[in-house]
Amino acid sequence: MNWIELRALNNLYINGEVKLNDTLAKSGEINYLINSLRILDRSHNKLFTLQGFTEIYEKDYLEKYNRYEAFLSDNELLKHQLRFEESDIKVLMGIKEDMETGNLLPLREQIIKKEATVRIVSLMFFKNEKYLLGKESLINAVKLLLNIDELADDKDQQYKYVLECNDPKCIVLCENIDFLKRPTLARSNNIELWYAGGKNVGKLDYADTRGLPIYYSCDWDYDGLFIIYPLVKEKISAIQLLTPNGISKGIGESEHKSVWPSQPKNIDHLLKRSQKEILHNLIKEDQWIIEESNNLIDMVKVFHKPSIFE
């Protein structure tokens, strides 16, 4: 849902009716409440509530609407024509929280120092380098919450982002930015984190590991394992894939876009025996493991036990 739909449902809760517009007419959520739950109805130009709407709204929508509305209002983002998706608001709330705790400050410094582009910041926070393009209101909201005046608008992606520590014992290259937004844990365990930007691995031609062990952390899905990891392995032959310990999710139920093909290419030569078993089960059950659901420290510690090497 987007904010227009969320606001309309709240207006229905308060007033019992709301004027129909094109967004509401095409809304999957609204049409579900009309056709499946039968707690809303529509005339040619209005939506109005039926018996049962109040109970369902208070159970499923009211708390999160109040939370989103308070956040947008407190941060001066609540505009009349606001069209943010609910997922956008959740990302913005995460940025706000991580800025307040200080977790994002090292990354913010690098964004400024390296003149990060809109595409890079889009990839960092929305996992899609094109997601922010053309969305000026959302770009401005991200800049506001990061307390950054400008983002570069070119397409240069030659920088990797590094979360340094005082005495690094190893390096972990992350597919996504999430672990870099939580600096305390990695630093306290002497782990240096790198982020190159998903598939944008060309810059790794110039990477210097300084003789440190280097590992790869990724989503265990088709893109992470069959596309990005082989590209990374070509650039840094010594890199080793970390074995996930997070809980898997159904690809369909999480609306994930990276799906397993019917005949995936063979990457057995890049995997350990236990990793092959995990991959086989994920494909069989049509599931994936999101990178940030893993315990990073436990994944790395496994590689410091000689018995795990085959």
- The dihedral through the CA atoms of 127, 160, 195, 287 has a sign that is positive
Domain boundaries of the chain, sorted by first residue:
3-74, 101-146, 161-308
Strands (E), the chain: 17-19, 40-42, 46-49, 161-163, 170-174, 191-195, 214-217, 240-241, 249-250, 287-288
**What's the average model confidence in pLDDT over 266-295?**
92
| Cα separation values, 141 from 75, 98, 155, 240, 302, Å | 9, 15, 21, 37, 40
Crossing angle (nearest 10°) for helices 118-126 and 86-101: 90
* Per-residue pLDDT, 201: 85
Total residues found in the chain within this entry: 310
pTM (two decimals): 0.71
Residue 308: band (very low, low, confident or very high) from pLDDT cuts 50, 70, 90: very low
Instruction: Tell me how far apart the alpha carbons of residues 192 and 9 are, in angstroms, rounded to a whole number.
Output: 46
Q: How far apart are CA 10 and CA 279, in angstroms?
A: 44
Q: What are 214-236's pLDDT values in tens digits?
A: 999 999 999 999 999 999 999 99
Q: Does the pLDDT of residue 25 top 70, yes or no?
A: yes
Helix %, strand %, coil % of the chain (to 5): 50, 15, 40
pLDDT reported for residue 219: 93
> Cβ contacts of residue 92 below 8 Å, gap of 6+?
71, 75, 77, 84, 141, 142, 145
> What's domain 161-308's architecture?
3-Layer(aba) Sandwich (3.40)
Residues above pLDDT 70, as percent of the chain: 95
Q: Residues 124-147: what's their mean pLDDT? A: 91
The per-residue pLDDT for 309 is: 35
Using one digit for the tens of pLDDT, what is the confidence trace for 153-205? 645 456 788 999 999 999 999 999 889 988 898 999 999 999 988 787 888 98
